[in-house]
Structure 1
Amino acid sequence: MNQLLVQCGNVSELFSAIPKVTLAKASFRCHAHARALMYFESHVREKSGSFNPAAESSGIFADEDISFLMEIYSGLEEPDGLSGLANLRKSSTLQDQLLINEKAGNWAEVLTLCEQALQMEPSSVDRHSEVLNCFLNMCHLQAMVTHVDGLICRIPQYKKAWCMQGVQAAWRLGRWDLMDSYLSDTDKGLVCGNSESSASFDIGLAKIIQAMMAKDQFMVSEKIAQSKQALLVPLAAAGMDSYMRAYPYVVKLHMLCELEDFHALLGGESFLEKSFSLNDLQFTKMIKDWDNRLRFTHPSLWAREPLLALRRLVFNASNMDVQVGNCWLQYAKLCRTAGHYETAHRAILEADVSGAPSVHMEKAKLLWCTRKSDCAIAELQQSLMNMPVEILGTAAVSSLTSLSLVLPNPPSLATQASKENQDVAKTMLLYTRWTHYTGQKQKEDIISLYSRVRDLQPRWEKGFFYTAKYCDDLLVDARKRQEDQRGVISPPAGGTLTEEKPWWSYLPDVLLFYAKGLHRGHKNLFQALPRLLTLWFEFGSIYNRNGSSVSRPTKEVNTRVLGILRGCVKDLPTYQWLTVLSQLISRICHQNEEIVRIVKYIITSVLKEYPQQALWMMAAVTKSTVAARRDVAAEIIQAARKGSRNVNDNSALFVQFASLIDHLIKLCFHPGQPKARTINILTEFSALKRMMPLGIILPVQQALIVTLPTYDTSLTDSPSFHAFSAADHATISGIADEAEILSSLQRPKKAIFLGSDGVQRPFLCKPKDDLRKDARMMEFTTMINRLLSKFPESRRRKLYIRTFAVIPLTEDCGMVEWVPNTRGLRHILQDIYVTCGKFDRQKTNPLIKRVYDQCLGKMPEDEMLKSKILPMFPPVFHKWFLTTFSEPAAWFRSRMAYAHTTAVWSMVGHIVGLGDRHGENILFDSTTGDCVHVDFSCLFDKGLQLEKPELVPFRLTQNMIDGLGITGYEGIFLKVCEITLLVLRTHRETLMSVLETFIHDPLVEWTKSHKSSGVEVDNPHAQRAISNIKARLQGVVVGVGAAPSLPLAVEGQARRLIAEALSLKNLGKMYIWWMAWF
C-alpha cells in the first residue's frame, strides 16, 4: 500500500511539474478550450496577477498572453469575453478587432477591417476567405459569386477553397449550373482552414440538392446519411461543454430533416419539374410544421438564416413569390433586431420584389431603428394613403392629412377581408404611436386615429392598451401642470384655473381602455392592471378627502369609474386579479367605502377560485396588529369559505390553514433552549405533527407563480385553463422531527417539510423580521425575469434572477423557501483564508477593529484600506470555482453563471436602491455558480439613511471581481450590466407601474416610526424613492455618494456605476463589518 502511495505521489509530482502554459497550449490544440482557459488563467495569475482595481494591486498583462486568451475565447464562442480582453490592451490590434466583430456578428465592420488588412497583404488567402464569409453573412450573394470567380483567376492554386465557398452562395441563389460548376472543382487545389470549416456542410447540402435534381433516390439518402454522420462527432464533443456550443450542429441537422421532408413530398421527381401550390394539403401541412419548428429555434440570425434560405429554395421552385418574400421579411426582421441594418435593407428590397405583404412595416421599423423617424412615419403614412378611404374611415383620413400634402386614394369598391383590416390596423397603430412620440399631430388627430384602430380590430388587445397609454399620458401631463399651478393635489370644488378640463376627467377613458385591453388579452397584464388599480385607488382617496365639497362633474366621474370597475369584476378572468392580489390586499382598509366593497369582492372571488395560493398570500393580513385589517381579512375568508364551489373540501382547507399558520408563527418565535442547536418538533409541537398530512400546498416558488395562458383571454376563464403549471403541486404530508436553530441573533429555524411527492423541502422560519417587502421584491424580480426572457440579447445569454418564495406570516415573522446548495460569501471566503493561513476565527476580526480604530482620523479611509487591510487579504474567490467545479467545462459554465447573475442583480439592486449587501446576504450556488441575494429589508435607498451611509451602488469588492476571472469586470460582467440596464430602461414604464404600487402600500414600512394604522397617508419617503428610481431609469446616477449626473447612455451609466462600486474611497467609508476587504 505504501509503495502504491509513493507511486501515486511520483505521478502527481510529475504532473505538477508540467508548466501550466504547456498544458493550456496542448488543450487548445485539442480544441478543449475550457480546459485551456483554466490552465492559462492559472499561469497568468502566477505570472502577472489579475485585473482587479478594488484590490491592493492590479495585474498588467503581456500582449502575447492577451492574444492567446483571445484565441481561447474565440474557440469558446464568447464575444463578451473577447471585448473585455481587447479593453485590457494599451491599444487593440487589427486581429483583435477582427476576432471581436466576427464573434459578435458585426459583418459590415469585419468587411471594412478585411479591406484594411488586404491593403497590407493583398494575397492573403485567409483574408479573402473572410471577405467571402462577410458577403455570405451580409447576404451579398451576387457580390460573393463575382468575388469567387475573380479569386479563381487570381489565386488559382486555392481554387478548391474558393469553389467551396462559392457553393454556399450558389445554392442560396438557386444558380444550379453555377453550383454544379463549383462542385466539380471542389477537389482541385489547396484549401484554407477558414473555408473548409465553414463550407464543408454546404458542400454536402449542395450534393443532396444535386442528387434531388437528378432524381437519384439512392444518392439522396446516402448523402443525407453521410452529412448526418459527419455532424455526430463534433456534436458529441460540443455537447459535453454546453447545449449552446452544440446548437449550430443541431441547426444543420434541422436543415437535413427539412430536406428529407421535401424529398419525401417530391416522390422521386425533381423539384425543378414538380411544383406545388397552397391547395396541396400535404405541402401545406409540411409548411405549417416547418413554421412551428422555426418558432422553437433560437431567435438569432445565425440559427435561422440557413433554414430560411432553404425554404426560399423550396418556394422558389414552385414560383410562390409571396412565400419567398415572407422568408425575406423574416430574415430582415432578424437582421434588424441584431443591429445589422445594411443586411436588413438588402432583405427588404428582395421582399419588395417578391411582392410580400407588409413590407412597408418592416421598412418603417428599419428606418426608425436607424434614427430616421421622419422617414419612418412618412413610409407608414404613404402606405396608409394607398389604402381605400372606406377602410381607413373619413375621420382617420382627415387626421392623417391634417399636416400632410399627400392625398389619399379615391374610394375603391373592392371589399376588404379581415386580414387586410388587421394589416391596416397594425400600420395605423404604429403610425399613431410614432406621431404621438414625436409630437407631429394634435391631440384630436391622435385620438381619432386610435379610435379607428379599435374600430378596425375591435378584439385586438394592443389597440386598446396603447389608447389607454396615450390617455394616461394626457392625464399625467394635465395633473402635473394643474397641481404645479395650484400647489395642491385635490380636484377643485368646481371649475379649473384654466380653460383646460381637469385632469381627473381623463380618468374614466384611461380605466375603460385599460380594462377593455385586459378583457381581450394579457400581453400587457403586468403593466395595465397595476396601473389601473393605482389610478382608481388614488382617485378614490382624493374623492373621499373632499367629502361634501366635491363638484357635480367629479361625482359624475366617480360614478363612471365605479361602473367601469364593476364591469372589470364581471368580465376579467380571475387569474388576472391573482397577479395583483398583494396590491389588492394592501387596500382592504381604503378610506373609500365603495372601493373597499369592490376590493373585498375581488379578493373573495380569487380565494374561491385559487384558495391554495391566495391563502398563503393573505396569511400576514389575517394576523395584522391593526384590528380593522384583521377584521376585513376574516370577513373575506368567511365569505370565500361559504361561497366556494366545493364547500366541504374547501371548508376543511380553510380550517386547516388557520391552524397551520398559528403553529408556524409559534415555531418562528420559539426561543429554544439557550445554547441548543435544534428544536424537537415531536415534543414541542406535537399538535402540529398530529395535523399531518394536510391538503395544503407547500408554498414553493413554482407553486405560487401564475402561468399565463398561451391564447388571448375571453369573457370568462377557459374551463381547462389553470393559472399554475400543469404539474400537480405537492401538498404538506409531514414535518421533520427536528428543526435546526441557526446561530444568528434572531435564531431562525430551518424546518424541513415533507411533500406528498416524497421530496423534502426546507424552509427558514424567521422571527422579528418583516418579510412583506421581501415578498413584494420577489414579485418584482419575477416580472424582471419575464422582461429579460423577451429581449434577444438577454435571452441568448440566459439572463435571469434566482427567485424563491417569501411568505410573511405576520408583520414581524414569516417563512422563506430555503435555496439549496448555497453558502454565503463571507463563509466561503473565511474558509479559504483559514486554509491559506490568512484568517484566525478568534483573532483576525478584533485585529481589524484595532486597525480601524487606530487609523480613525489619522489617515484617509481609502489609504487605510489599501495599505493596512487589503494586504492582509489577497483576493482568493477564484479558488472556490476551481475546487467546487474541478471539471473545466463545468468550471467555465459556473463562472459564466456567476458573472451573469451577479451583473443582473447589481443593476436591478441599484435601480431599486437595495443596500446591506454584506457577505451573508449574497449566496452562491455550489451546483451552478449562481449568485442569490437574500434579505431585502434595506430597499429604496434606506442604506443612505444609515448612521454610516452606504456609498457604493452594489457590492463589487476585490473578491467579487476576483471570481470573474483575470479580466475582472471587463468583458462579460460589463456587457451583462449594459444589457440589463438597457432592458430596465426600455421597460421603465412597466417597472414604474409596478414599483409605484409600493408608494401606496400601507403594508410596507418605510421608517421605524411609520407604523401601519389602517389609515392611508401620503408617504414622502416613498415619493422620494420613486423619484430616484425614475431618475436611474433615465440614466441619471443618484444615490451613490456622487453628485447627480446628466442622463448617461447605457454604456456610460454601467461604467460609472462600476467605478463607484470599486472605488477605494467609497469602500473605505463603508461600515466596518460590511467587510469591504472581502
Structure 2
Amino acid sequence: FYWKNMISHPIHKVPIRGSYGTASHQIQNKFLFHSRPLATKNNVPPYPEYPHPIYGSDYGKTFGDWATNWSLKMMSQVLSGDIKSVFEYCIVSIKRDLQTALFFLPYIVVHGIICSTKETYPIILEEIYTVISEPNKPDEAAVKKRDLSSRSELQTKCAKAVFNIIDFVVRFLEDWTAKHISLYTLKETDLTHKSLDGFLNDMDMLLLSRANYKCGEYSRALMYLETYVKYKPHAFQDVLWLFLKIYARLNDCDAIHGIIAVRETEATLEETMICHKATGQLQAATAYYENLDMKTELRSSSHASLIQCYLGLDQPLTALRKCQEIAARTTDMVAKMEEFEAEAFWRLCDFDSLNNLVEKTVVSPEGSWNMSLSHAILSFTRARLVAHILAEVDEFHEVVERIKNTSDMSVSMELARNCMKEWKQRLEVVKHCSRIQEEIMCIRRAILMQSVKVFQSNCSSVAEFFYQQIGNSWVESAITARSSTAVSENHCSILSYDFSSLFKVLFVEKAKLLWAKGDKEAALTCLQQGLKQHLSQEYDSLQEYYNNVSSDDQKINAEGKLLLATYLDENTYVDVDANINNYQEAVNACVQWEKSYVCLAQYYERALSNFKTTLERNVDGSEMQLNAVMNYAESLTHGCQYIYKALPCLLTLWLDLGTEYSDPSRCPRYKEEALAKLRSSLLKMNEIIRNLIKTLPSYLFLPVYSQLISRVCHPDPSVFLVIKEMLTVVLSSYPQQALWMTVAVYNSTNQLRARRCGEVIAAAGFSSPESKKFLKDFLRLTQKLLVFTDMPINENHKKNDVYSVSRIVPALEQILSSPTSSRIILPIQKHFNIVLPEGVESYAGHQVYQQNEVYFHRVQDEFTVISSQQKPRKITIVGSDGKEYYLLCKSRDDLRKDFRYMEFCNVVNSYLAKDEESRQRNLQIRTYYVAPLNECSGVIEWVPNMVPFRSACIVMYRRARIYQNLLSVRELLKPEMYDLATKRKCFMERVLPIFPSILNEWFRAQFPQPHKWMKARTAYIQTTAVMSMVGYILGLGDRHGENILFDTMTGEVMHVDFNCLFNKGLLFAIPERVPFRLTHNIVCAMGPLGVEGHFRKCCEITLRLLRSNGDTLTSVLRPFIYDPIVSWDKQTAGRGKNTEYTNELAVKNLKDLERRLQGMVKSKGKECYVALSVEGQVNSLILEATDINNLCQMYFGWAPFL
C-alpha cells in the first residue's frame, strides 16, 4: 500500500519529496519508475475455501500454516474497502514471512470482528475456543521443551498468539473508547465499540485464565481470572484454588497468605500442600506428601514436589533414597528421578556416583537444568571446562587455573579473595528469595569443596581460605533462613550441622536461629558455649588480647558478646549495671566495630528513660548521658552504617542538655552542685562534638543539617558556637545543597534566627570572588522566586490561562539568562540524595552526591497557574543539560512541614532499603524535593507522569458512562442534617451506588500488558501500604482526591501537600475520622483479595520498622519543636524574637507520635490507650479506615464515596 500511494501521485505533486537531498531522489526515482506494486485489487489471488476451525485441519498442521491461513481467512471477512485494500496489498508478505503474518493478524482479527455477520462471528469464536480448549499436558512438562510433543508445542504457540490477539482487542477498544469519549462521539450504536465489547463479553475468562496457566503465562492468567471474578463475584470462593496455583507459580507468598485469610471453607489437601510449599514451610509440606503417599499413589507432579521439598530442606541423602524408591516402582518416572538424583549427588559431593549417572544419560543442548549443571561440575573437577551453561563455574575454573600457575602466595590469595568478592556482589543483585539464594549457595559449596581437595596438598593457604568460605556460605544460609517466614521448618537442617569447631562464626547464627524459633534457653546456652570455645584462652589485659587475637576473631567474639547482651537485655535477665557491663564487653572485644558502640549508647538512653523527672535525668543520669554521647560519637569514627541512629540521637542529647542548663526558668530547681555537674557534662559534650568536626568528613553531617539549622537560636553561647562550626563546615563543603536548606532560615521573620543564620553564612568562607558571586547570585535568585511566588494573580483566571514570567518578574528571566550568572543547581530530589560510603576505609575521597548535576540555564516565559486556594505557579526551567524541568512556586503555605516530611520519608526509605523483608518487596516512599524560601513560601519539584486519584476515577466513570457530577451528592453528605444511622443508610444506599468501584479498570487501561499490569498493581499496593503507615504515625490528614497521585508509568502512589500533619484534621470543622484513605476504590484496585495479602503484609513490615526505629525517627522530627511555625499556633507566633523558640504544640504532637510508635491505640469512645502488637495495630487501623460509620461522617470535599 506504500508503493501504491507513491505511484498514484505525480512526482511534482508529492510535497515531502522536495525536502530530500539529491542522493535520496536517485533512490526514490529507481523505486518509483522501476518497481511495481506487489498486489493490486486486480491481481489479488482468490481466497480458498478454508475449513473451520483451521486449527487441527490440514491448513493448520504447523504454527506458520495456522497463523497465515487464519489471517487470510479473516481477511476475506473484512468488508471495509479501504482497510481491506491495505491488507490485500500485503498478502504476499503475509504468506512468505511468519513475522509479518503475526504482526498483521491482530489487526485483521479486530476488523474481522467489527465486520462480522451472524454467520461469520461464531466461526471466529470457534477458532479461538478450539485453540485454547485443547487439553494440554501439565505445565511441569511444558517447562522443558525436550518433554514437549510437537502437538503440545503447536497448541502452546497457537494459544499464545490467541492471547496476544485478545490483549490487542482490549487495547484497541480502550484507545477507541478514550478517543471518542473525549470527543463526546461514542454512541450506543457505535459499531466498533459494540462489536469489540460484545466479543470480549463472549470470552470465557475462566477458560482463558486456565489456558494461560497451562501455557505458563501466569500474569495474564491472573488478569483474566480477576476479570472473571469481577463479573461473577459469587464464584470467588470456587476459583480460589486457581488463584492459589497462579500465585504459587509467581512465588507470591503474601498473596497466598491473603488467600488463606479470605477462604471461607477448609482447604483441600492439595491446596494445603501448595500453601506450605509456596510459603517455605517445607517440613509441613513433606509430612503431607508422605502421609498422602502412604494412603494412595501420588501423581508424578506430587512425586517431584516431594523430592523438591527434601532438597529444599537440604536433605539430599533422604531425597536420593526417595528418588531410587520412586524410580523402582514407577518406570515412567525414571528420567525425572535421575535429574533429582544428579542434584542430590552433587549436593552430597559424591562426584563418582554423579559421574556414573551422567555417563549413562544423554543431555541434549536444551536438556534439564540438573543434568547440565552436573556436567558443568564434573567438567570442572576434570579441569576440562569450556564454554558452558554456568558462567560462574567457568570463571571460577579460570581463577583456579591461574592460582595453580602462580608461585607467589600473595597473588594466589588476592585472586581467591577477588573471586569471592565478585560472588558476594553477584548474590546481592539476585532476588532476595531464600529458595533462589539457597540454590546458588549449594552449588557454590559443592564447587568450593572440590577446590579444597585440589589445593590441599600444594597450596594450603588457599585451601584453608576456600574452606572458610564454605563456612561463610553456611552462615549466609542461616541468615537467609532466619529472615524467611518459616524459620522453624525451612532450614532446620542447618542446626543439625556441628560446624562450630570448624567455622567459629556459625555459633552466632545458630543462636539466632534458635532464638527466632523461640528456644531462648538453648540460644543463650549456644552463645555462652560458643564464646568459651571460640576464645578458650584468657588474657590478663585488653592490650594482650588485641595483640594475640586476629581482627576477624575479635569481630566474631564481639558479635557473640553483643548478641548475648541483647538477649539478656530483652528478657531482663540481669539488672542495668550488669547489662552495661555486657554491652561494654562487646565494645572491648572489637574496638573497630561500629555496631557495638551504637547498641551501648542506645542502652544508656533506655536506662535514662527510667528516671521519672527531667531533673533526675539530668543530675543523677548526667554520666549516662555523657557516656551515650561518647559512644554514639565513637561509632561514627568506625563507620556510618548506623549514622541515622547515632547522629540524630547524639545531637538531641547534647542540644537538649544545653537548653536545660541555659533555661533561666528551670535553673532554680537545680542546686549549685547539680548545675556545676550539668555544666561539666555540657562542656565535655561540646569537646566531643568538636573532635567529631575535626575528624569526620563534612558530608556525614548532611543528614542532620536541618536539625542543626533549626537550633541556631540555641540559648547557650558555647553550644551555638559548636553548631555554627558544624554548619559552617557543611556549608563551605557543599554550598549548592546546603544553601537550599538554609535559605528559609536566612529569610526568617524571626530576627535572631535570621541574624545567626547570616553569621553562619558569613563564616562559611565565601571570600573568593567566585564564591562571593555565587552567594550573591543564589540569594538574588531566591529573592526573585519569592517575589514571583507572592505576586498576586487575577482572581478570575481560568484553568488553562497562560501567563508571562517577564511581565510579572522580568528580573528572574534576566538573572538566569545572563551569561555571567553563577551555576546554581535545580532544587530537585536527585541532587539531594545522599550516598554514604560503605565503611570508614572509604571516607576519604568519597563522593556523597552524584556528579551529573543540572543547573539553572533559563526560564520559559510562559507559566500556568494551578486552580487551588493558594494559586501556585508552575514554571518551566531549561536545565544545563537541555532538558525541561518543572517547579511549582507556592505561597501562603508553610512548606517547612513538607520539607521535614520529605526528610522523614528519606530516612524511612534508608531503613526500608536495609531491611530484608522490605527489600524483597521493594518497599519505598515516592519523594520529591521541597525548598522552603521563608515561613510561608517555597518551591516544590514537579514530578511528571502523575495523575490524581480523583481524576483517574472520573476518567473511568466517564468511559463507563456512569459519571455524575460530584456536587450531586453534596446535599446527601451534609453533617448537620442527619443522625449517624441515617447518614450511614444514605451513604450505603444512595451515595455509593452512584460511584461504584472502578479504579481497578484504570490500571487495566493504563497498563494493558499483563506483566506490566501486575507489576504496576503490586507497586501501587506496596506504596499505598507504606504511605498509609507513615501517614498514620505522623498524623497526616487531608488525603482528598487531589493529594494522592498515581504514576502512569509505574503505578506507584505519591502523596503531596503535607500541611495537615500531627492529626490537625481532628480540629477541622468536620473532623477527619480515618487514619488514612482506604475507601472502596482504593481497596478495589488491590484486586479480589483487597486488604488481605500484599497490603496487610506491607503495612506490618513498615509499621514494625517504624516502631523499631522510633527514637531515630522522632529525632528527625524534633526540629518542629524549635521552628516557629505560625500555622500551628498563631497565639505564640510573635514570641521568641530573641531566644530559641519552643513550640509547645509541637512537643505535644511529638508525644502523641511516640505513643503511636509504641503501639498505643485509643480505645473506642475512651481516652485510655491500649498497647497492641504490630499485627494488632495494623488490623485496628484497617478496620478504622474502612468503617462505614467513619466514612459516612467525613467531609464531602474529602470524597469518602470515591
- Shorter-chain TM-score category? 0.7 to 0.9
Once residues 198 and 443 of structure 1 are traced to their aligned partners in structure 2, the CA distance between those partners, rounded to angstroms, is 64
Q: Report 1:603-614 matches (<5 A).
A: 603-614=727-738
Aligned to 2:1150: 1026
Instruction: Give the Å deviation of 1:733.
Output: 0.5
> Which of 251, 255, 266 lines up with 1:77 in the alignment?
251
Q: Which residue of 1 aligns with 2:151?
A: none
Letter in 2 for 1:327: S
Distance 1:862 1:453, change over 3 A: same
**Counterparts of 1:353 and 1:474, CA distance in 2:** 35
CA distance in 2 between counterparts of 1:858 and 1:425 reads 61
C-alpha contact (below 8 Å) 1:898/1:929 kept by paired residues: yes
1:430-449 equivalent positions in 2, closer than 5 A: 430-449=563-582
Is the contact between residue 475 and residue 504 of structure 1 (CA under 8 Å) also seen in structure 2? no
In 2, the alpha carbon distance for the partners of 1:78 and 1:605 equals 48
Residue number in structure 1 paired with 2:689 = 565
Q: Does 1:656 align with 2:790?
A: no
Q: Which residue of 2 aligns with 1:529?
A: 647
| Mean Cα deviation higher: 860-869 or 173-182 | 173-182
Offset at 1:64?
Answer: 3.5
C-alpha spacing 1:210/1:723, structure 2 compared with 1 (3 Å): closer
Q: Secondary structure at the match of 1:1009?
A: helix
Give the superposition deviation at 1:199.
9.7
* 1:894-923 deviation per Cα after TM superposition (whole angstroms, max 9, x unaligned): 111111111111111112211111111111
Which residue matches 2:1003? 881
Partner SS state of residue 803, structure 2: strand
Q: Distance in 1 between matches of 2:1165 and 2:883?
A: 47
Is 1:358 matched up with 2:505?
yes
Out of 385, 389, 395, the residue aligned to residue 261 of structure 1 is 395
Structure 2: tracts of 5 or more residues without a match: 1-78, 84-110, 117-191, 454-462
Matched-pair contact (CA < 8 Å) for 1:168–1:199: no
2:834 maps to 1:706: yes
| Contact preservation (8 Å) 2:555, 2:593 | no
Q: For the residues of structure 2 that align with 1:610 and 1:554, how far apart are their CA atoms?
A: 34
The Cα offsets for residues 1020-1049 of structure 1, whole Å up to 9 and x where unpaired, read as 533433333333333333498787663333
Aligned counterpart, 1:380: 527
Corresponding position of 1:201: 369
Query: Do the aligned partners of 1:897 and 1:929 also contact (CA within 8 Å) in 2?
Result: yes
| Alignment-derived partner of residue 303 in structure 1 | 436
Partner amino acid, structure 2, of 1:382: Q
| Backbone CA RMSD of aligned residues | 3.3
Worse overlay, 1036-1045 or 991-1000? 1036-1045
- Write the distance in 2 (CA, Å) between the matches of 1:505 and 1:327: 43
Distance 1:1020 1:634, change over 3 A: closer
Which of 658, 680, 685 is 1:540 aligned to?
658
Aligned-residue offset at 1:859:
4.2
Q: Secondary structure at the match of 1:763?
A: strand
Q: 2:1061 aligns with which of 917, 939, 944?
A: 939
Structure 1 residues 299 and 733, CA gap change in structure 2 (3 angstroms): same
CA deviations on 1:645-668 (whole Å, 9 max, x unpaired) are x72221111100111111111111
Q: How far 1:606 sits from its partner (Å)? A: 1.4
1:133 lines up with 2:308 in the alignment: yes
User: Do residues 510 (structure 1) and 643 (structure 2) align?
Assistant: no
Deviations, residues 167-213 of structure 1 (Å, cap 9, x unaligned): 1111110122432454467689xxxxxxx999920111112334455
1:894 and 1:928 in contact (8 A); partners too: yes
* Residue deviations 1:465-507 (CA, integer Å, cap 9, x gap): 22222222222223xx2x1xxxxx4469xxx9xxxx6123422
For 1:374, give the aligned amino acid.
E
Could you tell me which residue of structure 1 aligns to residue 1115 of structure 2?
A: 993
The percent of aligned pairs where both chains have the same amino acid is 30
Report the Cα distance in structure 2 between the residues aligned to 1:850 and 1:728, rounded to whole angstroms.
54
Q: 2-side partners of 1:353 and 1:840: how far apart? A: 71
Question: For residues 832 and 1042 of structure 1, what CA distance do their matches in structure 2 show?
Answer: 41
Q: Can you list the C-alpha shifts for 1:437-460, whole angstroms capped at 9, x where unaligned?
A: 333334444434444443443333
- Relative to structure 1, the CA distance from residue 724 to residue 828 in structure 2 (aligned partners, 3 Å threshold; closer, same or farther) is same
1:117 equivalent to 2:302? Answer no
Note the alpha carbon deviations across 1:404-424, whole angstroms, 9 max, x for none. xxxxxxx99993333323322
Evaluate the alpha carbon distance shift between residue 292 and residue 932 of structure 1 in structure 2; reply closer, same or farther with a 3 A threshold. closer
Maintained 8 Å contact 1:214/1:270: no
| Greater Cα offset, 312-321 or 1067-1076 | 312-321
Equivalent in 214, 233, 241 of residue 29 of structure 1: 214
- Contact map agreement 2:347 2:442 (CA 8 A) in 1: yes
Give the C-alpha shift of residue 846 in structure 1: 4.4
Q: 2:516 aligns with which of 369, 373, 382?
A: 369
Contact preservation (8 Å) 2:788, 2:808: no
Cα 1:207–1:915 change in 2 (3 A) is same
Is 1:722 the equivalent of 2:855?
A: no
Alignment length (residue pairs):
985
After TM superposition, the score normalised by the length of structure 1 is 0.85
1:520-919 aligned within 5 A: 520-545=638-663, 546-547=666-667, 550-551=672-673, 552-640=676-764, 643-644=765-766, 647-676=768-797, 677-693=801-817, 694-712=822-840, 718=844, 720-725=845-850, 727-841=851-965, 844-850=966-972, 852=974, 856-857=978-979, 859-919=981-1041
Please say which structure displays the higher CA radius of gyration. 2
1:428 offset after TM fit, Å? 2.1
Alpha carbons of structure 1 residues 586 and 1039: separation in structure 2 relative to 1, 3 Å: farther
Match of 1:950 among 1068, 1072, 1081: 1072
- Deviations along 1:715-739, whole A, 9 cap, x unmatched? xx62x223212x3211100111111
Q: Does 1:44 align with 2:229?
A: yes
Counterpart residue identity of residue 430, structure 2 = T
The residue type paired with residue 416 of structure 1 is V
Contact 2:747 2:934 in 1 (8 A): yes
State the shift of 1:991 in Å. 2.4
Identify which range, 550-559 or 886-895, moves more after superposition: 550-559
Question: Contact 1:697/1:732 (CA < 8 Å) preserved in 2?
Answer: yes
CA contact (8 A) 1:1036 1:1044 kept: no
Deviations 1:602-624 (A, max 9, x none): 21221111110111011111111
Mapped to 2, the partners of 1:917 and 1:838 lie a distance apart of 24
Given the alignment, which residue of 95, 110, 114 partners 1:9?
A: 114
Segments of 5+ residues of structure 1 without an aligned counterpart are 49-59, 189-195, 229-255, 397-410, 484-488
In structure 2, relative to structure 1, the CA distance for the partners of 1:631 and 1:1016 (3 Å cut) is closer
Deviation (angstroms), 1:972: 1.8
What secondary structure, in the 3-state scheme, does the structure 2 residue paired with 1:692 have?
A: helix
Distance 1:993 1:112, change over 3 A: farther
Q: Aligned-pair distance for 1:384?
A: 3.0
- When residues 550 and 791 of structure 1 are mapped into structure 2, their CA distance, relative to the original with a 3 A threshold, is same
Whether the aligned pair in 2 keeps the contact of 1:915 and 1:939 (CA below 8 Å) is: yes
- Rounded Cα–Cα distance in structure 1 between residues aligned with 2:545 and 2:856: 67
Q: CA deviation at 1:365?
A: 1.4
Q: Check 1:675–1:116 CA distance in 2 against 1; reply closer, same or farther (3 A cut).
A: farther
Instruction: Give the 3 Å change call, closer, same or farther, for CA 414–475 of structure 1 in structure 2.
Output: closer
Q: Could you tell me the TM-score, scaled by structure 2's length?
A: 0.77
**Offset, 1:521:** 1.6
Shifted more, 287-296 versus 616-625: the winner is: 287-296
Most deviating of 806-815 and 824-833 = 824-833
Work out which structure has the larger RCO, using CA pairs closer than 8 Å and 6 or more positions apart in sequence.
1
**Match for 1:964 among 1086, 1089, 1100?**
1086
For the 8 Å contact 1:736–1:752, the answer to whether it is kept is yes
User: Conserved in 1, the CA contact under 8 Å of 2:640 and 2:838?
Assistant: no
Aligned partner of residue 579 in structure 1, secondary structure: helix
Q: Deviations over 1:518-537 (max 9, x none)?
A: 22221111121111111122
Residue identity matched to 1:728: N
Question: Secondary structure of 2:923's partner?
Answer: coil
Q: Which residue is 1:477 aligned to? A: 610
For residues 839-896 of structure 1, the C-alpha deviation after alignment (integer angstroms, 9 at most, x for no partner) is 344xx40443256479523843222210121111111111211221122222221111
Distance 1:525 1:851 in 2: 49
AA aligned opposite 2:262: L
Measured in 1, the distance between the counterparts of 2:404 and 2:342 equals: 20
